[in-house]
A and B are shown apart, each in its own frame.
Chain A
Amino acid sequence: MKNNIDVTVLLPIHKFDNETIKPMILDSVNSVVDQKVYPKELKLIFPLEVMDEDFNSFIEEIKKPLTDKKIILTLCSNEGETDFCSQINKGVSEVKTKWFSILEFDDVYTNIMFDNFNKYQKDNGEDIGIYLSINMLYDKEGKFLSFNNEIVHSFGFQDIEIDLGFIGNDSLSVYSEYQMTGGIFQTKLYNEHGGLKPSIKVTFWNEFLLRMIGKGVKAFVIPKIGYKHILGREDSISDYIYKNVDVDEMNFWVKTAKSESFCKVDRDIKYNK
């Protein structure tokens, strides 16, 4: 049996119930178990208040399939800030593997994700800090909408000196719609350049990517379908943007992402109309 690869999957959860959330998380966890090549660890990140009898029995339920694949299950509970960015930063602070990946609880990996990460990463050595895959986007009814992250495989999208698949610094100023969940990140570089900034609402991934690439970290999109993401789920970030963020606020966060990307620390930015 092959050794599990040096990756921790972070699975942030902000609420739990047996009826709607549990089936989704089970699908997510199963997509880790069904991989051709397995990660070393799966870390559930959750606020303390979700811990109840149902949650505990759910943990027991997922232990066996993970253990069968030599995937270590670890739990990381957080108090206070339970937004997505803070949960990720908290999870990463406990990561011991060289790489980590982020799996949203209502998303799934395809079964070739880690196998391909393993292959493409061997090609590129230490050079690359972020691996994304081509993702499939679905609406909340499960209808396929489009691919995401595929654009960097299009010749002519970015400067000619940038090889196919790499996210170029210049292209980020005109295109920033990358789907970062499902991506695999080098833990050391994430910590070195500062993680996600919770105060940057809406465009935190864009700010993060600009900052990382600005610091010389290379980001590569594996030309395989590695992740399936649902858009517009009730209570999700995309749903929040759709319902609450107007054009002015969006422009503010886009500009903020650019300006703040030069700064490592989160400077507690607030939006004022």
Chain B
Amino acid sequence: MKEELSTLDKIIERAQKEVDNIESNNYTIYFNLYDTNGLPKAKEMYLYQTAYALHELGYNVKMLYAKRLEKNPKTGAMVDTFVGVKDWLGEKYANLPHQNISEEALKESEEEFLTNPSDLFFIPEIFSNIMNNLTPGVNEKGERVGINSRRVIVSQDIDFISDVIPMGREWSDYKIFDVLTTSEMQSDIIKSYFPYMKTKVVNPMIENRFRPSSKQKELSICIFCEDEKYVNKIVKPFQWKNPLFKFVTVKHLAGMTQDAMAEELKKSAIAVWVDRDTSWGYFPIEAIKSDTIVIGLLPENVPDWMNNEDKTDLNNAGIWVDNIQQLHKLLGSLVESFMTDTIPDSIIKDMEVIKQKYTEDEFKANVKKVFESYNEEYKTSLNEIIKEVNERKTNIKK
């Protein structure tokens, strides 16, 4: 009985320690990511923005990547070639703490990567392999594997889920039951796939750099397509079908830094967007916030923000078509509307509604709320354990 009581005391002690860790902010929030090699990636941006918001709120955050070291041909030393996001997203994000957790990087740095149960791992949906490696359990040799920290999947693109989870498996196999996602629409789809998953939604934010210019618009069209093949499919037929508008300058924004993109959107009158697979769509909202009229192909899963308030129809914040042939013609009409000051009021009105949403402040408040709820849930579960163990102790003593 004495031995059992001692074990129970240890359990209570450990659980209490984790509660104390949460209350004293003595834990780390990790974000798994991959190196974008300096190329802009919306999904990485969301992770960095979330991490930065938490950093500003006083949490300890760390960005984790696994990248093989490369041998410097001159010195022979092994070097980390992680490029990161400084060039396209900005220094404040690049300055967040980072760590290379590849086996050879950890070996080289002679640094052990230790985790606590109260640490929180955010794992993007594409990293099924990481989810698998972190799954707590015991291997064939009887050794403990994985980690016993809190783990949350970050899901930004519904297609990725089916693309990367191996056939016959699902998220519960990785013993992960929490998902952070970017829209109610995405949350509903996840719940329909995995009813046991707990979802929380934090809409992405549009940074303040995307704002209207105080100057009048120039007659140019910005184009941003997730798949490059759409650029030619749009620009050339637009010119063939509207030869009078051949003179209109078209700027291809793919690969630009966020600052450069913000400057171009400020100047241009019209933005064209194609990303059929997205569940969100940063670019059109960035354009709207820059007072630039958007015309685009509807994504397969229509993002929440494109709907009107009662979700019965699309709003008028942009001009949405489901056929690329319609897009060429409407783009011509839009150019003409700009040149004659006849952009419909309904578009301007609905753009104003979107402009008020997805702000940095709103995002930060949502991040705070969601992360506090993760901590509260964790503390509640630990306190329940402590209560149950104490009851067990009382029963034993009786």
Task: Give the interface of A toward B (CB within 8 A).
Answer: 110, 112, 115-116, 119-120, 123, 134, 146-147, 150-151, 153-155, 157, 163-165, 223-225
Contact = CB atoms under 8 A, between A and B. Distances in A.
B249 A153 contact: yes
Nearest to B218: A164
A150 B247 contact: yes
Given A110-B340, A146-B244, A154 B249 contact: yes
Interface string B217-231: 111100000000000
A155 B340 contact: no
B247 A151 contact: yes
A116 B217 CA distance: 11
Contact of A164 (B220, B246, B341): B220
A225 B340 contact: yes
A138 B216 CA distance: 28
A256 B142 CA distance: 96
Given A110-B340, A153-B248, A153-B249, A123 B220 contact: no
Given A115-B341, A123-B214, A146-B244, 17 more contacts: A110-B340, A112-B341, A116-B341, A119-B216, A153-B219, A153-B247, A153-B248, A154-B249, A155-B220, A157-B247, A163-B218, A164-B218, A164-B249, A165-B218, A165-B219, A223-B217, A224-B341
B218 A154 contact: no
A153 B220 contact: yes
Given A147-B244, A155-B220, A223 B341 contact: no
Contacts of A134: 339
B339 A224 contact: yes
A153 B244 CA distance: 13
B92 interface: no
Interface size class of B (residues with CB under 8 A): 10 to 19
A116 B246 CA distance: 23
A107 B48 CA distance: 57
Nearest to B269: A223
B398 interface: no
A48 B249 CA distance: 48
A238 to B, nearest CB: 21
A16 to B, nearest CB: 32
A112 B343 CA distance: 13
A119 B214 CA distance: 10
Nearest to B243: A146
B269 to A, nearest CB: 8
A164 B215 contact: no
25 contacts: A112-B340, A120-B216, A123-B214, A123-B215, A134-B339, A147-B244, A147-B247, A150-B247, A153-B220, A153-B249, A154-B246, A154-B248, A155-B220, A155-B249, A155-B251, A164-B249, A165-B218, A165-B219, A223-B217, A223-B219, A223-B269, A224-B338, A224-B339, A224-B340, A225-B340
Interface in B220-268: 220, 244, 246-249, 251
A134 B335 CA distance: 13
Contacts of B217: 223
Most buried by B among A110, A120, A147, A150: A150
A226 to B, nearest CB: 9
Nearest to A225: B339
B219 A164 contact: yes
Contacts of A119: 216
Most buried by B among A119, A146, A165, A224: A224
Nearest to A112: B341
Contacts of A223: 217-219, 269, 338-339
Nearest to B341: A112
Nearest to B244: A147
Contacts of A146: 244
A163 B218 CA distance: 10
Contacts of B216: 116, 119-120, 123
B331 to A, nearest CB: 16
A221 to B, nearest CB: 9
Contacts of B340: 110, 112, 224-225
Given A147-B244, A224-B339, A153 B218 contact: yes
Contacts of A123: 214-216
A110 B217 CA distance: 19
Most buried by A among B218, B220, B341: B341
Nearest to A153: B219
Contacts of A165: 218-219
Contacts of A155: 220, 249, 251
A225 B245 CA distance: 13
A224 B220 CA distance: 12
A204 to B, nearest CB: 26
Nearest to B217: A223
Most buried by B among A146, A155, A157: A155
